[in-house]
Amino acid sequence: MTALGLGLMAQLGLTLATIIVAFSVPARARSLASGISCALTSTAGALTGALALAGWHGSLSIPFALSADPVELAPTQLGGLFMLMASIVGILVSVYGIGYAHGATASPMSWAALAVFLVGMQLVPAAADAVSFLLMWEVMALGSTVLLLTEHFRRHEVNSAVVWYSAMSQVSFLLILAGFAVLATSAGSTSFAEMRILESDSWAAGIALVLLVLGFGSKAGLVPLNVWLPRAHPEAPSHISAAMSAAMVSMGVYGVLLACVQLLPAGPPWWGALIMVLGGVSAVYGIVQASVNSHLKVLLAHSTTENMGLVFLAIGASVLLRAYHAETTADATLLAALLLTLSHALFKTTLFLGAGAIQHATGEINLDRLGGLLKRMPWTAASFGVAALAAAALPVTSGFVAEWTLLQSLIHGSGIEGTPVAVALVVAMPLGVAVVALTAGVALLTFVKAFGIAFLARPRSAEAAAAAEVPASMRIALVFGALGILAVGILPGPIAEALASTVPANRSPTVRTVGAGGISIPGIGVLLDPATLVVLAALLLVPTLIIVRLNSRRHPIRVSALPWGGGGSRARPRMQYTATSYAEPLVRVFDDVLKPTRDVQVTHLGESRYLIERLQVNQRVTDVIETRLYRPVLNGAQRFGKLARHAQNGSIHRYLTYSFVTLLIVLVVVAL
Amino acid sequence: MSAKSLTRLIVRTGRIAETAPPAPTRAAGAERFHGSVNVRYISAGGCSDCALEVASALGPVYDVERYGIRLVASPRHADVLLITGAVTHNLLEPLRRTIEATPEPRFIIAVGDCAIDGGVTRDGYGVVGPVSSIVDVDLTVPGAPPKPEQIVEALRRMTGR
Amino acid sequence: MTAAAVVVALIQLALFIFLAPVLVGVIHQVRARMEGRVGAGIWQPWREVRKLLAKNPVHAEGSSWVLTIGPIALLLSSLLLCVLLPLVGTLSLPFLPSDLFVIVSVMLVGVVALALVGLDSGTAFGGMGSSRHMTVAALVEPTVLLAIYALSIPVGTSTLSKIVETRLHTPAVIISPVSVLAMVALAIAIMAETGRLPVDNPSTHLELTMLHEAMALEASGRDLAWLEVGSWLKLTVLLGLLSNLAAPWGVLTDFTIWSVLIGIVAMTVKILLLGTLLSVGEVFMAKVRLFRVPELLAGSFVLAFLAVTASYLVA
């Protein structure tokens, strides 16, 4: 039994152990025991993934009664990378859950479902053939659906969210199944190793790719199949939202990478263009929706759409560049996609765990009622702040390194080293850069808003004023998430090398480590060394701080009772800017996309037409895709259903007629 | 106004500011301002005559900016508080808040008879008292209203230029 | 080579810290003279900084350490820009090329720090300034990235020092239509980012018209000094970059005593000249309505995008 096989078996065994622990340990110690057990499952996954990433080989065959073939788990390097990413998220989420779980979230079913969900997520990248893949995929979906239902007793919105989530989950499953079916029938086998023989120019390959991209894209949260994401992720308990938003969407990315890099490499340019367009539209739409939302978790869910859009933009650019034989930049863009996925997994986990901490401490999740939490919850604020910096792609964080790689590879996307300058590339690369830049700018505003309104200034409600720091296990998870972000941000070289090893480079190595752990892409001729930048900043900071210190000795700070708000007598914390007002200029700029509706109701005083007793303003930002795409489809489906009901009116005579007619038809067909 | 006509206006107008009279001595304690003073203006009450004279003093004819004096939008940025009018009930609290919001070292200048001792509004029902009843006044500019030259001279004593 | 780069970096730092208040003084002085006044002289901003460092800051109860650290972060980001950009010379420090995205991100750190200072003030003014400032920053970033991308295509790299060197050695590139388009877009973006007319009026007293000043209303003493100097430095550095892209002569590419002196003098002259032009231009401009600013920025984005596509098709 190879080490990898042992690791895979250990994951399954520990999952079983967690389920037993969850159902047998009494309530007081249940969260601690189950959390530790889940964390161990994920640690096993992390070790297995790391070994697979390093190039070790091994497999596990699980005989499974229903299908003819056993379930084959044999992770490739790419699979190992995604297993590692999912496991890291799993460890953080399990540790966090120990302190966070209470009430329904701490029930045996909930912990058991978490174990099942985590193992499903970890084993999806390990699958070696289509059937095993789909089986693990459904295990993951099942686990997440059960977890989503955790709080349905307390809030009725959960029910609607679960319906949307399950429906879209099955839609994506069907699309993936269809895609794999096309590939399997052409190749004659369901094993991934044997599916590669399909000619990429054939129409079968094209259909398969479109189906797979749509199916995996739906799971990753791409427009237009992302409507479930902002509904489902906020309704789950926060650590589940983190796992879903950080790790489960990465499985969508893994699927597309599987399709584009391993199963159907060397596709025609329109594949790359299609993926780029889907990615670009998702990125812009996602971040614009995130920037105008005041519900912190919905904001983060839309931000997931944006980041996945950027990942797909990178993957699409890679496929497009490879179609035009620009190999070095294609490899660089693929590396950018992997870095973006890793970075997103880390910072989205931390952000959702931070949002959960805020909800745990204050009971509020709407930014308009938070504020002043920096002093009351310093650890949460620091971790959330680092993760927000990463989401905004600012220096010394992983997000900065990932976006730098993406921008550099897009900018150098054509016209280097004698590669032909095709018209498609000339249009696609600048558009890609423009999309990345626009999303980066709006993401900056979104996360300054999220961090600033929640943590700075004065509390906007009594609940926020009464907040206290969260328990130790939650703090540990938050801090380690932030440390992970900083580690990737300051020492990207070795990590990028590990990521690049999962995708075979056609010529010299895609990336090298230079300087103090910096990243260099020799094919393009660019380098980034964040550690040296930090050293330079520290050198500049030292004399500045000396001057500040000297000055503060001679001129101490005086504390005044009120901030300067014009000297008026009615200044109160509620008069501070809220998240809604912060985003208002952006709502105006993007009003064609967001289609805000404003409803003003005026109640006059008595008979007077000039004196007003009450004024009520309702402003809503609608989801254009839902109103323009989904509602008509759902209405059409409902109308069709009503029509079909005529054929099913309950009369036994009609049903007997149906059977008789069917029998006649069968007899006629058999006779012919 | 088109660019051409504006250019013609600028060229033809030339300099509006009058010649500067000789510089007064700097007030004690104002050397900490190093020749750059930010002024926050407060109209605490009164009839606004002094306000008009202050507006004229800050205009291009007297050009106090050449002496390093500037009007600012927030008392947190201010060094000198220029107060006109006797303090009324409604402006008592905002005046106190403004003074408290100004960082030290700071100077309070009371401009006009109403600000110094109540002037013609001394016993009005809406008046609390002169500025000196709320806060220690460092410099006064008497007059009802004082001339802009007197206000400029008082401000110049802050920078010594 | 490294020692030379370090010396050039130190020279840039010292020169720009000295020049930033002087540039602002020149801008105010030119404006004053054109308006018929005498003006306070070009050393007035330096006097203002001295005075601010002699005041005791006031912090409101309930404000956090962001009010102290934010201004320092803004100042630090501006100092980093001084060191990283090719201003006096194009020699780069080891492992720190003046890469496009690194420069923009360092600048954005300052932008975010200022926005957080505005939000932490706890007043409606601060939040309003912060919101408007971030909206402008969000809309400016695509233009800046695309404009420098357009300038990088003829050179083949996005490192600013290489771009400046190429323009120094082949001046025909400077007047090519692509370069002109990109420079116009970049100039509009820089005007928006540094809070100059027509996007923002730096000398307004009306809070409702403020974009950037509103965030500093709560700062006093040395906090205000760091905010002011940080903003002035950012303006000076970006004008220096613009002048180097438009007229790179005088920039030092190899380290000799003569080239250093010429570099210092050339940079000073270029910046003060550009500042004077900026001030004269501002006298003729009025501030654009806030909700028209996105249209202006969208126009500059279109120019930058045209520059990029044109450079591929022409080259």
Q: Please tell me the predicted confidence (pLDDT) of residue C128.
A: 93
Pairing, β A612-621 against β A596-604:
antiparallel
Test C37 with B17 for CB contact under 8 angstroms.
yes
Radius of gyration of chain B (CA): 17
Q: What is the mean pLDDT of each run of 10 residues along chain B (161 residues)?
A: 91 91 91 94 90 91 92 94 94 93 94 91 90 94 93 93 88
Give the structural domain span for A634.
Answer: 596-641
Residue A127 domain flag: no
Residues of chain A scoring pLDDT < 50: 418
Does some domain include residue A533? yes
Is A650 within a domain? no
Report the CATH fold assignment for B3-159.
Rossmann fold (3.40.50)
* Sign of torsion over alpha carbons C43, C49, C53, C58: positive
Q: Which of B32, B60, B73 sits opposite C35 (nearest CB)?
A: B60
Which pLDDT tens digit goes with each residue over B44-90? 988 889 999 999 998 889 999 999 999 999 999 999 999 999 999 99
**Does residue A88 form part of some domain?**
no
> What are A458-461's contacts with CB under 8 Å, separation 24+?
A458/A371, A458/A372, A458/A573, A458/A576, A458/C62, A458/C122, A459/A370, A459/A371, A459/A372, A459/A373, A459/A573, A460/A368, A460/A369, A460/A370, A460/A371, A460/A573, A460/A574, A460/A576, A460/A578, A461/A362, A461/A364, A461/A369, A461/A370, A461/A371
> Out of B95, B101, B104, whose CB is closest to A564?
B101
Q: How far from B60 is each of A461, B161, C33, CA to CA, in Å? A: 48, 17, 11
- What's the full length of chain C, in residues? 315
Site from C119, C158, C200, C311 to mutate, A interface, most A CB atoms within 10 angstroms? C119
B94 touches chain A (CB under 8 A): yes
A contacts of C123 (beta carbons < 8 Å): 563-565, 571, 575-576
Please, which residues have CB within 8 angstroms of residue A354's CB and are 6 or more apart in sequence? A380, A383, A384, A387, A478
Query: What digits encode the pLDDT tens for the residues C289-306?
Result: 888 999 999 999 999 999
Mutate to test the interface with C, among A555, A577, A586 (most CBs of C within 10 A): A577
H or E segment and range at residue A620: strand A612-621
- Strands B87-88 and B127-129, by their bridges, are antiparallel
Give B-chain residues touching C204 at CB under 8 angstroms: 73
Question: Which residues from B are below 8 Å from C32, CB to CB?
Answer: 65-66
Nearest CA in chain C to A397: C105
Please provide the distance, in angstroms rounded to a whole number, between the alpha carbons at the two ends of chain C.
33
- Closest residue to A457, CB basis, from C54, C120, C137: C120
* d(C-alpha C241, C-alpha C157), whole Å: 17
Q: Of A438, A315, A457, A454, which Cα lies nearest the Cα of A383?
A: A454
Any C CB within 8 A of B124 CB: no
- Asked if the structure places residue A323 within a domain, the reply is no
A393 and A456 housed in the same domain? yes
The angle at the Cα of A347, spanning A342 to A353, to the nearest 5 degrees, equals 130
How high is the pLDDT of residue A414? 65
Which residue from B76, B93, B104 is facing A564, i.e. has the nearest CB?
B76
C1 close to A (CB below 8 A): no
Are A400 and A457 in a shared domain? yes
Residue of C nearest to B60 (CA): C37
Across the interface, of A560, A568, A569, the residue whose CB is closest to B101 is A560
Is A151 domain-assigned? Answer: no
Which single residue is written with the structure tokens 């004096």? B69
* A102-137 exposure pattern, b = at least 16 Cβ within 10 A, e = fewer: eeebbbbebbbbbbbbbbbbbbbbbbbbbbbbbbbb
Query: Rounded CA gap, A525 and A508, in Å?
Result: 13
Question: In this complex, do A558 and B104 lie within 8 Å of one another by their Cβ atoms?
Answer: yes
- pLDDT at position A672: 84
CA distances from A535 to A110, A207, A530, A568, B138 (A): 46, 52, 9, 46, 49
Q: Is the CB of residue A535 less than 8 Å away from at least one CB of chain C?
A: no
- ipTM here: 0.94
Residues of A in contact with C121 (CB under 8 A): 457, 563-564
| Residues 37-56, chain B, touching C (beta carbon < 8 A) | 37
Is C93 in Cβ contact with A411 (below 8 Å)? no
**Helices (H) then strands (E): counts for chain B:** 5, 7
Residue A482: how many CA atoms within 13 Å on its side-chain side? 19
CB-based contact A564 B74, cutoff 8 Å? yes
SS (H, E, C) chain C: CHHHHHHHHHHHHHHHHHHHHHHHHHHHHHHHHHCCCCCCCCCHHHHHHHHHCCCCCEEECCCCCHHHHHHHHHHHHHHHHHHHCCCCECCCECCECCEHHHHHHHHHHHHHHHHHHHHHCCCHHHHHHHHHHHHHHHHHHHHHHHHHHHHHCCCCCCEHHHHHHHHHHCHHHCCCHHHHHHHHHHHHHHHHHCCCCCCCCCCCCCHHHCCCHHHHCCCCHHHHHHHHHHHHHHHHHHHHHHHHHHCCCCCECCCCHHHHHHHHHHHHHHHHHHHHHHHHHHHCCCCCCHHHHHHHHHHHHHHHHHHHHHHHHHC
Please say whether the beta carbons of C251 and C269 come within 8 A. no
Segment 99-118 of chain C within 8 Å of chain A by CB: 99-102, 105-106, 108-109, 111-112, 115-116
Angle at A174 between CA A168 and CA A176, to 5 degrees: 105
Predicted confidence at residue A510, as pLDDT, reads 76
Token reading at C136: 């402008």
B80: Cβ contacts below 8 Å, ≥ 6 apart: B37, B38, B39, B40, B69, B106, B107, B108, B109, B155, B158
Domain count, chain A: 2
Residue A365 falls inside a structural domain = yes
Model pLDDT, residue A506: 60
- Tell me which chain B residue has its CA closest to the CA of residue A558: B103
Q: Are residues A507 and A402 in the same domain?
A: yes
Half-sphere exposure in the Cβ direction for A582 (13 Å, CA): 32
Which residue from C54, C55, C58 is facing B101, i.e. has the nearest CB? C58
Q: Give the number of B-C residue pairs with CB atoms closer than 8 Å.
A: 93
Q: Please give the tally of structural domains in chain C.
A: 1
What is the rounded CA–CA span in Å between residue B48 and residue B40? 16
DSSP lists the bridge partners of residue B141 as: B111
Residues A240, A245, A246: CA angle, nearest 5 degrees: 100
Give, for A520, the enclosing helix (H) or strand (E).
strand A518-521
Q: How close C220 gets to chain A, by Cα (Å)?
A: 10
Q: Give the pLDDT score at A563.
A: 87
Q: Looking at chain B, which residue has its C-alpha nearest residue C41?
A: B66
CB within 8 Å of chain A, chain C residues 46-75: 53-64, 66, 72, 75
**Which is it for strands A558-560 and A612-621: parallel, antiparallel or unpaired?**
unpaired
Find the angle CA(C99)-CA(A586)-CA(A235) to the nearest 5 degrees.
Answer: 100
Domain ranges of chain B: 3-159
CA distances from B110 to B29, B101, C269 (A): 17, 18, 45
CA distance A79 to C247: 52
Among B35, B71, B76, beta carbon nearest to C218: B76
Sign of the alpha-carbon dihedral angle for A484, A489, A495, A500: positive
List chains adjacent to chain B, taking adjacency as at least 3 C-beta pairs closer than 8 Å.
Answer: A, C
**Same-domain pairing of A386 and A502:** yes
Residue A543: other Cβ atoms inside 10 A: 10
The Cα C80–Cα C107 span in angstroms is 9
Mode of pairing for the β-strands spanning A596-604 and A558-560 = unpaired
Domain coverage including residue C206 = 2-314
Q: Tell me whether residue A661 is in a domain.
A: no
> Which residue in A305, A245, A247 sits closest to A125, CA to CA?
A247
Q: Secondary structure of A631-651 in the HEC alphabet?
A: HHHHHHHHHHHHHHHHCCCCC
Residue C265's contacts (CB-CB under 8 Å, 6 or more residues apart) are C250
Closest CA in chain A for residue B74: A564
Q: Kindly list the residues from chain C whose CB atom is less than 8 angstroms away from the CB atom of residue B102.
A: 58
Q: How far apart are CA A637 and CA A656, in angstroms?
A: 27
CB contact under 8 A, C119 and A458: no
Query: Is the same domain home to A542 and A601?
Result: no
Q: What local confidence, expressed as pLDDT, does residue C147 receive? A: 93
**Chain A, 136-175: which have a CB under 8 Å from a chain C CB?**
none
Q: Which member of A564, A568, A569 has the closest CB to residue B75? A: A564
The burial class, CB within 10 Å (0-12 / 13-18 / 19+), for C271 is buried
Smallest CA–CA distance, residue A554 to chain B, in Å, is: 12
What 8-state DSSP symbol labels residue A629?
Answer: I
Suggest the residue from A448, A535, A553 to mutate for an interface test with chain C (most C CBs closer than 10 A). A448
Q: How far is CA A214 from CA A52, A189, A205, in A?
A: 28, 23, 14
Element (H, E) at A557: none
Task: Dig out the tokens for A596 from the structure.
Answer: 């805000």
| Contact B59/C at CB under 8 A | no
The answer to whether C44 contacts chain A (CB < 8 Å) is no
Q: Which residues of chain C have pLDDT under 50?
A: none
* CB distance B38 to B70 below 8 Å: yes
Q: Tell me which residue in B3, B13, B66 faces C38 most closely, judged by beta carbons.
A: B66
Three-class SS of A101-157: CCHHHHCHHHHHHHHHHHHHHHHHHHECEHHHHHHHHHHHHHHHHHHHHHHCCCCCH
DSSP bridge partners of A62: A71
CB contact under 8 A, C56 and A558: yes
Which positions 223-262 of A are in contact with C (Cβ < 8 Å)? none
- Reported as half-sphere exposure (CB side, CA atoms, 13 A), residue C254 has a value of 1
